[in-house]
Amino acid sequence: MPIIDVRDLTKSYRVFRKREGLVESVRGLFRRQYTEIAAVRGINLQVEAGEFVAFLGPNGAGKTTTLKLLSGVINPSGGQATVMGYVPWERSNEYRRRFALVMGQKNQLWWDLPAQESYRLHQQIYGVQPDRFKARLDELTDLLDVTKLLGQPVRELSLGERMKMELIAALLHSPEVLFLDEPTIGLDVIAQHNIQKFLRFYQEKHKITILLTSHYMKDVAALCKRVVIVAGGLVQYDGSLAGIVDKFSGKKIVTLQFADGDEPSNLARLGTVLDTHWPKVKISIARTDVPRVLAETLRDYAIEDVSVEDPPLEDVIADLFHQVS
């Protein structure tokens, strides 16, 4: 049985439409006009225990809304969902003790207090025994190398350090399911790498289930074997990371290195020229045309080197988002 089971989940919002001008503002006090916004249109998703799943999509696709629904923060408009057998929006204490939600743009720690004070509060909220609390805190602070920062007010920490502290707060009660919403947003390359390294190690060691949203494809490539792409409130793809390129990209990137002095007169006939640093040329070619183009090029020109690659994952996903948004 899946640990996360989502069936035809929907969520719509009524948004007040305010017209411009004083007269319209006064009129709106008596006759309000609303627009129905469908954030989630019928998502179906099953996640097995111990999976690390990337939940991707363009802005407004319904990713964060889905995580809020699965966390019980908001109620759905329709459909069903269970996490570890619990209905999230029933908000039972048993369920809330077994999952955690980390949002990169929201703080759960007290801004003016040292993180260690917020951790003590979490200990009381979740009923963590003192000896287990100390062991967990020591393990997490050691893994994230922030032991010396526990007594420093959160507002004085860097963004990367604050995110480490947020992760510790989320994991102190040993959740079985972790929802991560843009955990590396705004972080520099080093901080992103440290967070990725920690999440990969922790998930492999404790076998928890993680659902991750991120706009950084390096997060996804480093952490997740399975990718779910949502757009327009619906699941558009569910499969492996490599399968995205195979399914949604009809192009190959061919790099040709011509012999000196043997420059073709019309490179555009081979495909879409992406970059030229003579004698090396990078061309985008339709997958089905690659054998023919290579055969003709090798026949007509002296080629010193050739390589055929898939387009960058970021480009493929960006194109996919553009198509379905």
Q: What percent of the chain is modeled with pLDDT above 90?
A: 50
Q: What are phi and psi of 175, to 5 degrees?
A: -65, 150
Domain boundaries, the chain: 4-245, 250-309
CATH of domain 250-309: 3.30.70
User: Measured between alpha carbons, how far is 40 from 8 in angstroms, rounded to an integer?
Assistant: 9
More confident of the two residues 173 and 302: 173
pLDDT tens-digit series, residues 185-211: 888 888 899 999 999 999 999 999 999
Lowest-pLDDT range of 17-26, 219-228, 254-263, 278-287:
17-26
> What value does the mean pLDDT take over residues 67-75?
94
Q: Which two tokens stand for residue 123?
A: 């200990």
pLDDT tens-digit series, residues 121-149: 999 999 999 999 999 999 999 999 999 99
DSSP string, 14-41: EEEEPPSSHHHHHHHTTS-EEEEEEEEE
Same fold, 4-245 and 250-309: no
pLDDT above 90 (res 171):
yes
- Local confidence band at 24 (pLDDT 50, 70, 90 cut-offs): low
- Local confidence band at 27 (pLDDT 50, 70, 90 cut-offs): confident
List of E strands, the chain? 4-17, 33-47, 52-56, 78-83, 99-103, 177-181, 209-213, 226-231, 234-240, 251-258, 272-277, 280-286, 303-309
CATH (one of 3.40.50.300, 3.40.50.970, 3.20.20.70, 1.10.510.10) for 4-245: 3.40.50.300
DSSP string, 115-169: HHHHHHHHHHHHT--HHHHHHHHHHHHHHHT-GGGTTSBGGGS-HHHHHHHHHHH
Contacts of 258 by beta carbon, 8 Å cutoff, 6+ apart: 264, 278, 279, 280, 281, 301, 302, 303, 304
> What value does the mean pLDDT take over residues 233-258?
85
Burial of 171 (0-12, 13-18, 19+ CB in 10 A): buried
Q: Residue 9: how many CB atoms within 10 A of its CB?
A: 23
User: Measured between alpha carbons, how far is 79 from 72 in angstroms, rounded to an integer?
Assistant: 14
